[in-house]
Copies of this chain bind each other. A is one copy, B any other.
Amino acid sequence: MFTSFRALPTLSRLPDLPGPITRLLPRLIEPLGGVGLVRRALSRKAINRLAYATTLRPRPLSMLSDYTSWRSLTDRSYSGRHLPPATPEFMDALPAQSDVLPLFRREQEIRATDTSVMFVFFAQWFVDSFLSTDREDLRKNHSNHDIDLCEIYGKRIEQTNLLRSGHGGRLKSQVIEGDEYPAFLFEPREPGGPLVFKAEFEGLHDEEFITQRILGDAPDDRKDSFFAVGLEHGNSTIGSTIMNIVWVREHNRLADMLAAEHPGWEDDQLFETARNIAIVLLVRIVVEEYIKHIAPFDFPVEAVPFIADGQRWNRMNWSAIEFNLLYRWHSLVPDAIGEGPEQLSSTEFRNNNPLVLSTGIEALMKRCSHEPAGKIGLLNTPYFLTERFQGDQPSIEERTIALSRGARLQSFNRYREAYGLEHLESFEALTSDTDLSERLERLYGHIDNLEWYVGIFAEDYPDYMMMGELITTMVANDAFTQALTNPLLARHVFTADTFSEAGMRVITETVSLEQIVARNSTSPDAVRVSFKC
């Protein structure tokens, strides 16, 4: 991944390598993963290079105010920000938001070269845990700023307690036709009847928000199988539902394993230790499978043990507004999954737990692992994220553009400089798509006026990457400096005392999401999970 950034300082952009080289390089790079010490050394170098790409936390400003205050330095309910706000002059010169939306609207669907829909679903499920924008005050983020698997545990202790079974360290679950699933959230009801939280889940989430807003436009027969999980949006796509099922199963498997090894442990210790293990498994999957896929050439990056221990970038996590925005990978979402009679339209892969229950997670994950995602870039956001439905409410993409404007982000070029990348001199340097570069030039006039949220998606990139240079650098910077700082990875915490001996073995042995799915499946041979299609 990483050599491409700084080892080629004299090139103004990432090179378009000749086809044979781009095909050959991965074959040269991938085997490095098999050579432990080489992989570790290169990973360490790459992680640190990206972690030090820009200034470090703590940063003087948050979204709270335009000047530094004790609250801007300590109150993490407000999103952080990497750079101070743009000048009023810069903001005033921007085109109307209504003229920006068409830059995102999908004209002709473009698929990614090797990214699967499985990647998309994992990304959405994963990101929902640390980017949880307040519905009323967009400057705020409700998350704990850590990878904490709140998707299945909830964000607050009160939620966690409602989700726990209270015995054996397990989470509440149910068995349907021999397979384990999270518990249902609602009381059984007559078709079309009112949705009521089970008493045992009272207070888990905002009841009105879930029944009216999230399930507002869902077909009635899909509502009863809504699972009780950690986040309000945990059932919004089949992908999120599948991931929650996988991790609830894994948590309960770990709890059972610990109970067998430690018959004297009570529910609390079994639960907490299983959670410790599960969180570290997730961090490992995120770095070694998910970030690996994002990296150029799928460089086999390793979650180097204790790498954060000696680093200046190891500072308190604080998700920035830029991280929140750059993760809006709407263009990854295809119009539909598959072809023919089995094709799933967007309305079928949203709010559709009955599909998951009837098809099974193995078959769906296999299908999603073969299906290419959309390609990240402009002109490729699907219609249901750009167009207005539901009483003319702004679309998701419109709301995102508005959020980036509200955050008064500095220009694309300013961010390139802040991340050590060279200043671009023209729209032609941004993208070789001349239609697009001319369109952007007409809209913004000068490359220095280009707004960041458009620029990061306009930047074109060779096939061995999955997004542009700036967005790759920024996502890697925030990801590495906030995933590898997880307290469970710290030197005096990452021990058998924290995970148990059995837990340490599980952590060592687990290298892929596919493994986790398979060991919790009643049909392990049918399991195929891949972020690369």
Given contacts A310-B312, A316-B316, A498-B60, contact A70 B493 (CB under 8 A): no
Residues facing B in A238-254 (CB within 8 A) are none
Q: Which residues of B contact A488 (CB under 8 A)?
A: 70, 73
- Choose one: B55, B71, B153, B275; the contact of A492 (CB below 8 Å): B55
Distance between Cα atoms of A70 and B268 in the complex (Å): 12
Among A61-69, A222-230, A364-372, the one that faces the other chain is A61-69
Whether A309 sits at the interface, judged by CB under 8 Å, is yes
Give the chain B neighbours of A59 by CB distance below 8 A. 492-493
CB-CB contacts of A363-388 with B at 8 A, as 1s and 0s? 00000000000000000000000000
A422 within 8 A of B: no
Q: Give A contacts to B, CB under 8 Å.
A: 55-56, 58-60, 65, 67-75, 144, 146, 148, 153, 157, 268-269, 272-273, 275-276, 279, 309-310, 312, 314-316, 487-488, 490-493, 495, 497-498
A149 to chain B, nearest CB (A): 9
B276 and A490 within 8 A (CB): no
Copy number in the complex reads 2
CB distance from A476 to the nearest CB of B (A): 20
A74-B276 in contact given A65-B268, A68-B497 (Cβ < 8 Å): no
A60 touches B495 (CB 8 A): yes
Nearest residue (CB) in B for A309 is B312
Which B residues are in CB contact (< 8 Å) with A74? 144, 146, 148, 487
Chain B contacts for A56, CB-based, 8 A: 491-492
Candidates B70, B153, B269, B493; contact of A58 at CB < 8 Å: B493
Offer 25 A-B interface pairs, CB within 8 angstroms, sorted by A: A55-B492, A58-B492, A58-B493, A59-B492, A65-B268, A67-B269, A67-B272, A67-B273, A68-B273, A68-B276, A68-B498, A69-B268, A69-B276, A70-B148, A70-B275, A70-B276, A72-B272, A73-B487, A73-B493, A74-B144, A74-B487, A309-B312, A310-B312, A314-B314, A314-B315
